[in-house]
Amino acid sequence: MSNQPTVNGIPCNPGRVLGPGGHYIVEINKGDATLEQIEAIDWSNPTLENTGDSLPDSYGYEVTDVRYSYQYKKFQVHLKVKEEYLGDVVGYQAKIQELETSLATTEEEKAAAQAQAQAAEAEAATAQAQAQQATEDCLAAQQEAKTAQQMAASSQEQVGILAGKPLDDAAEARALRIAIESAVVSLDDDQASDVPSLFAPWAVGEAVEPGDRRYYAPTGRLYKVREGQGHTTQADWTPDKTPAMWTVVGDPDTAGTLEDPIPAARGMEYTYGLYYKDPEDEQTYLCQREGEEAGGKIVLQFLPHELVGQYFSAVSA
């Protein structure tokens, strides 16, 4: 490390002039700085390094004269003390400011911590209330499920009783049909798909609401009105032709094999790897798609013969 004295990074040779008044002379070689660079130095607050007592760094200075020695090719800067720095005091002031800021920050953090604690307590109380409500909802749901199971069992029993009852005349048959249709309403979709023909048949001019289920004889399938698709039925809006309005309920009791294909319908859920029989061309198709594994599900709004090469492959002529 060099011990060369410098002022604002310029090498120099400082010295104190004997006598009162605090006068100093700083010699700077011409090769180290120009007159302009020397005049540009803020001597009232210079950056001094390694100058020691020859030019104390605790003072500010005022230039009294600048001379140039042609003999020695040096500038001589004559200085006198302008004021003593309060460097140490400034440091203390900065420390005091830092402590005051730290104290203020600590108070703010304390207040923030108290607010967070209060918020946490409120959240804990809310969570406890939600947990209590969730417990009550769970118990209610369990009770509802139990009730639904009892109703479904009762409905199945009633359907079995009504279906096996002998009929004496047409009026009694109509009454029995109405009773059966009323009883099967409480069946869930899985149960309903096993007895599609027991539901009210689809008919033209009937106002149906989302969730209503109707049996469509031409396809032998049970259909349900989709959410947001309540409407009045029309002759050209049959369930098998309007998958945007109706969805197929369940799958018929078939294996989905080549020998026992599943009857296809618009808007039904298909399973990759199973075989389906198209009702329009009577051909059998395998549901498959590149990148999809067997067993995967997909709802399609078109029949197999309309999606050959995309979701189906024909396997019979």
pLDDT in tens, 182-209: 778 888 888 888 888 899 999 999 999 9
Rounded Cα distance between 167 and 177, Å, is 11
179 and 125 in a common domain: yes
Residue 78 lies in a domain: yes
262 and 206 in a common domain: no
Task: List the CATH number of the domain containing 233.
Answer: 2.10.10.20
Judged by average pLDDT, the poorest of 119-123, 167-171, 312-316 is 167-171
Residue 91 lies in a domain: no
Rounded Cα distance between 77 and 70, Å, is 14
Residue 272 lies in a domain: yes
Question: Among the three residues 135, 169, 186, which one is the final residue of a domain in this structure?
Answer: 186
259 and 228 in a common domain: no
Q: What is the pTM of this model?
A: 0.40
The whole-number average pLDDT for the span 42-51 is 91
At residue 315, what are phi and psi to the nearest 5 degrees? -125, 0
Rounded Cα distance between 129 and 76, Å, is 86
Q: What is the mean pLDDT of the chain?
A: 85
pLDDT in tens, 204-225: 999 999 999 999 998 888 999 9
Question: Among the three residues 208, 229, 250, which one is the final residue of a domain in this structure?
Answer: 250
Residue 92 lies in a domain: no
Tell me what pLDDT residue 106 has: 85
Tell me what pLDDT residue 152 has: 58
Range of the domain at 16: 6-85
239 and 195 in a common domain: yes
Rounded Cα distance between 43 and 33, Å, is 15
Residue 227 lies in a domain: yes
pLDDT higher for 286 or 103? 286
202 and 163 in a common domain: no
Contact 51, 5 (CB under 8 A): yes
Which of 147, 152, 233 minimizes the C-alpha distance to 189? 152
Determine how many CB atoms are found less than 10 A away from the CB of residue 135.
Answer: 10
Which of 199, 196, 216 minimizes the C-alpha distance to 279? 216
Q: Is the pLDDT of residue 95 over 90?
A: no
Contact 69, 76 (CB under 8 A): yes
Helix axes 170-184, 87-163, angle to 10 degrees: 160
Task: Write down how long the chain is.
Answer: 317
Residue 98 lies in a domain: no
Residue 90 lies in a domain: no
Share of the chain above pLDDT 90, in %: 47
180 and 194 in a common domain: no
71 and 14 in a common domain: yes
Q: Is the pLDDT of residue 167 over 80?
A: no
221 and 198 in a common domain: yes
Question: Among the three residues 169, 186, 203, which one is the final residue of a domain in this structure?
Answer: 186
Q: Is the pLDDT of residue 19 over 80?
A: no
Residue 100 lies in a domain: no
Model confidence band, residue 268 (pLDDT cutoffs 50, 70, 90) = confident
Determine how many CB atoms are found less than 10 A away from the CB of residue 7.
Answer: 23
Domain total in the chain: 4
Determine how many CB atoms are found less than 10 A away from the CB of residue 21.
Answer: 7
Judged by average pLDDT, the poorest of 170-174, 182-186, 236-240 is 170-174
Q: Is the pLDDT of residue 237 over 90?
A: yes
pLDDT in tens, 113-133: 889 999 998 998 998 899 889
CA dihedral (155, 161, 162, 168) in degrees, to 10, reads: -170
At residue 113, what are phi and psi to the nearest 5 degrees? -65, -40
The whole-number average pLDDT for the span 251-262 is 86
Question: Would you give the DSSP letter of residue 40?
Answer: T
Model confidence band, residue 155 (pLDDT cutoffs 50, 70, 90) = low
